[in-house]
């Protein structure tokens, strides 16, 4: 009898879940670079998201296989794979959210800026198509160097007359994911309840975790421990690049982070209140035109860019130190977009 009871309650909760997902508004999500190291697990995670009704997977190669595979999963969304530039327009049409993990990853010894020469052109091409085929979509930029690819996207959209600063996001969620994990480990608190804002940009010292604002608070952490946690968060990407020893950079944790951020965007679009995530967006928080900080997401994308809150002296120094590098990466992106 107990088995029967268990079954009936779990099937009713399944029914409820399926009813609520079916009643969510239709949303099309596009993944550009869907056959890549990030693209494949990200496509899987987006296929599992009940807020997605249409999942469009685009890459220059390999998408038919990824799309056929993912499409067999019995969740809400219809999956279509598109391969080759001639199909990019069809892939993008009607998109609500476009996630961009297209481009080359780092190898040991490289900085993210070393990817600029290849990825800047890729991002420019993809954003030109976004401006043409889905100018109102929210764009989640994952391709590195994010500190430059987001400004490139903004310039492409400006030139096309479609730029809306509320709809362009550099995805820095992986920095937050790492900061939460590393903090929970050191502070010995359950990771599920941890929150740590990470501000600035997405490369080396431009990544500034605000452990003074971490919750739950851990007064026991020494300043040496905070310095070490900060450095580990800033070097988290390099830690993975070195461990992968030439086989690329973070893909699985990035897919998780990218899926979290896209889910937040979808919730915002659907009118869920108080959806707040850190992201690299157009900003007045500092003198720089783009900056990562907490952002409230809403029906039109960015609803509010939140300020930094109070910083420790260590964080104030980190902020001063990161501004010149972040400025020059932003300017490099803007210059590229206007020259080429
Ligand atoms: P990958 O090489 O495994 O995959 C990249 C994919 O992009 C490939 O499938 C490739 O065919 C595709 N691609 C190349 N040119 C394209 C184009 N013009 N249109 C569509 N697709 C195209 O690389 P990866 O490990 O998935 O990393 C992708 C990017 O994400 C890199 O630039 C990496 O540095 C970046 N990244 C960012 C973060 C972040 O936190 N923002 C984290 C990890 C990786
Ligand atoms: C990361 O933070 O893991 C990514 O930006 C990839 C990289 O090159 O480090």
At 118-146, the pLDDT tens digits run 999 999 999 999 999 999 999 999 999 99
Residues 251 and 37: beta-carbon distance below 8 Å: yes
Closest residue by CA, ligand 2 atom 8: 106
Ligand 2 pocket, Cβ-based, cut-off 6 angstroms: 105-106, 112, 144, 174, 236-237, 240-241, 249-250
> How confident is the model at residue 210, as a pLDDT?
98
**What separation in angstroms does the CA of 134 have from each of 43, 46, 89, 130, 142?**
19, 19, 9, 5, 18
> How confident is the model at residue 22, as a pLDDT?
55
Centroid of ligand 1 to alpha carbon of 170 (angstroms): 14
> How confident is the model at residue 245, as a pLDDT?
98
Ligand nearest to the Cα of 141, by number: 1
> How confident is the model at residue 219, as a pLDDT?
80
Contacts of 59 (CB under 8 A, 6+ apart): 32, 33, 34, 35, 36, 39, 66, 83, 102
Closest residue by CA, ligand 2 atom 3: 237
Best probe residue, ligand 2, of 249, 256, 278 (max atoms within 8 Å of C-beta): 249
Mean pLDDT of 226-238: 98
pLDDT of residue 35 exceeding 80, the answer is: yes
Closest residue by CA, ligand 2 atom 9: 237
Percent of the chain with pLDDT over 70: 93
Q: Counting beta carbons within 10 angstroms of the beta carbon of residue 150, is it exposed (0 to 12), middle (13 to 18) or buried (19 or more)?
A: buried
Residues 22 and 55: beta-carbon distance below 8 Å: no
Q: Which two tokens mark 208?
A: 């500034």
pLDDT of residue 231 exceeding 60, the answer is: yes
User: Measured between alpha carbons, how far is 77 from 53 in angstroms, rounded to an integer?
Assistant: 4
Q: How many residues does the chain have?
A: 340
- ipTM, 2 decimals? 0.99
User: Measured between alpha carbons, how far is 175 from 152 in angstroms, rounded to an integer?
Assistant: 21
Mean pLDDT lowest among 21-25, 193-197, 314-318: 21-25
pLDDT of residue 314 exceeding 50, the answer is: yes
What are the tens digits of pLDDT across the range 139-166? 999 999 999 999 999 999 999 999 999 9
pLDDT of residue 3 exceeding 80, the answer is: no
Q: Is 119 in the pocket of ligand 1 (CB under 6 A)?
A: yes
> How confident is the model at residue 5, as a pLDDT?
36
User: Measured between alpha carbons, how far is 144 from 116 in angstroms, rounded to an integer?
Assistant: 7
The mean pLDDT of the chain is 94
Mean pLDDT of 192-217: 98
Mean pLDDT of 84-96: 98
Best probe residue, ligand 2, of 36, 144, 173 (max atoms within 8 Å of C-beta): 144
Q: Counting beta carbons within 10 angstroms of the beta carbon of residue 110, is it exposed (0 to 12), middle (13 to 18) or buried (19 or more)?
A: middle
User: Measured between alpha carbons, how far is 326 from 199 in angstroms, rounded to an integer?
Assistant: 12
Predicted TM-score (pTM) of this structure: 0.94
What are the tens digits of pLDDT across the range 252-303? 999 999 999 999 999 999 999 999 999 999 999 999 999 999 999 999 999 9
Mean pLDDT of 300-308: 98
pLDDT of residue 19 exceeding 50, the answer is: no
> How confident is the model at residue 218, as a pLDDT?
85
């Amino acid at each position: 009898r107990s088995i029967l009871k268990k079954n009936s309650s779990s099937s009713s909760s399944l029914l409820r879940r399926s009813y609520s997902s079916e009643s969510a508004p239709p949303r099309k999500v596009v993944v550009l670079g869907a056959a890549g190291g990030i693209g494949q697990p990200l496509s899987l995670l987006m296929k599992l998201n009940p807020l997605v009704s249409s999942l469009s997977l685009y890459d220059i190669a390999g998408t038919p296989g990824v799309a056929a595979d993912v499409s067999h999963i019995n969740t809400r969304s219809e999956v279509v794979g598109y391969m080759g530039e001639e199909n990019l327009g069809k892939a993008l049409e009607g998109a609500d959210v476009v996630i961009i993990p297209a481009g080359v990853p780092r190898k040991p010894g490289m900085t993210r800026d070393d990817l600029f020469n290849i990825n800047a052109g890729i991002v420019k091409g993809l954003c030109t198509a976004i401006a043409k085929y889905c100018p109102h979509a929210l764009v989640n930029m994952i391709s590195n160097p994010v500190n430059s690819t987001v400004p490139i996207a903004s310039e492409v959209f400006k030139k096309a007359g479609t730029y809306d600063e509320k709809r362009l996001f550099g995805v820095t969620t992986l920095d937050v994911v790492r900061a939460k994990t590393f903090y929970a480990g050191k502070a010995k608190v359950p990771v599920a309840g941890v929150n740590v804002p990470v501000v600035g940009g997405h490369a080396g010292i431009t990544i500034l975790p605000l452990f003074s604002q971490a919750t739950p608070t851990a007064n026991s952490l020494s300043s040496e421990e905070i310095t070490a946690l900060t450095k580990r968060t800033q070097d988290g990407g390099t830690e993975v690049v070195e461990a992968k020893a030439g086989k690329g950079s973070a893909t699985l944790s990035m897919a998780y982070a990218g899926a979290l951020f896209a889910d937040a965007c979808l919730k915002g679009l659907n009118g869920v209140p108080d959806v707040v995530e850190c992201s690299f967006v157009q900003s007045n928080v500092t003198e720089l035109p783009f900056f990562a900080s907490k952002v409230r997401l809403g029906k039109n994308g960015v609803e509010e860019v939140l300020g930094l809150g109070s910083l420790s002296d260590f964080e104030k120094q980190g902020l001063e130190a990161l501004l010149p590098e972040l400025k020059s990466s932003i300017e490099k992106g803007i210059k590229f977009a206007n020259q080429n």
